[in-house]
Amino acid sequence: MKRLENNGDQRNQGFCVHCGGVYKTDDHVPPKLWLDDPLPENLAIAPSCRKCNKACAENEAYLACLLECVIAGSSDPAKLRRPKVAKLLASNFSLAEKMDSASRTENGQIVWNIEADRVKQGLLKLARCYAAYELNEPRTDEPESVLWMPLQSMTPDQIEEFENPDVPAVWPEVGSRAMSRLVVTGDGYENGWIEVQPGNYRFMALCDGSLRIRMVLREYLACEVEW
């Protein structure tokens, strides 16, 4: 990916994009754990305080493991497709225990018990980074909604709307990265979607009255955070 400079104003610089606290560390967006090596160049970085950074890391690890387990239909690290996550799960006892106890078999089908708040916090964190990084609109307030659903559970109409939303009625702020992308081509910018790593992660930032960040994780989970 090309690194696009954020030429917007100073609103999102110098404080934690999650809580407005003191900027101490950089958060990679998406987290490196969600991507395979070699990592794409120029991953987005968002300022974060230590407390939020730590909380985010736990939720991100949970979500990465959960997704791989659901996709594999097993919490056995040897059966997971992404080596990075398999390695983490094999070495992290508490995560492994969490994954083991998250699934049960009902009528021959595996049912996963999801810690909804962890998933919500994990997605919200990313959305806050993108709001600040892509749209230059830092949002530390609570969003209107945080939604997620497997793509395969969506109706054809829902998928169509999710994948190809109407052109934003209001364009992103001049100087923001999303604005820059409208004039930069050949940057994995397809139909508004920015593909960070094929098969693993893509996202879209929409600014049409409300502010919406859409993400697709592992081409499995469709997510949207709206303010």
List of residues contacting Zn ion (CB under 5 A): 16, 18-19, 21, 49, 52
For the CB of residue 54, give the shortest distance to Zn ion in the complex, in Å.
Answer: 10
CB 49 within 8 A of CB 24: yes
Minimum separation from the CB atom of position 117 to Zn ion (A) = 17
By C-beta, is 18 or 120 nearer to Zn ion? 18
Query: Closer to Zn ion at the Cβ: 8 or 138?
Result: 138
CB of residue 24 vs Zn ion: minimum separation in angstroms?
9
Task: Report d(CA 77, CA 71) in Å as an integer.
Answer: 12
Closest CB to Zn ion among residues 128, 212: 128
Q: Which of 123, 7, 108 is nearest to 56 (CA)?
A: 123
Phi-psi domain of 191 (left: phi exceeds 0; alpha: psi -120 through 50; beta: other):
left
Pick between residue 19 and residue 154 the one whose CB is nearest to Zn ion.
Answer: 19
Nearer to Zn ion, 15 or 82 (CB): 15
User: Which is nearer to Zn ion, 30 or 192 (by Cβ)?
Assistant: 30
When computed from its CA atoms, the radius of gyration of the chain, rounded to whole angstroms, is 18
Beta strands in the chain (DSSP E): 25-29, 44-48, 103-106, 109-112, 145-150, 189-190, 193-197, 201-208, 210-217, 221-226
Q: Quote the least distance from Cβ 35 to Zn ion, whole Å.
A: 23
User: What is the β-pairing status of strands 189-190 and 193-197?
Assistant: antiparallel
- Rounded to a whole number of angstroms, the minimum distance from the CB of residue 124 to Zn ion is 12
Residues 73 and 12: their CA atoms lie apart, in Å, by 40
- Nearest distance, CB of residue 12 and Zn ion, angstroms: 13
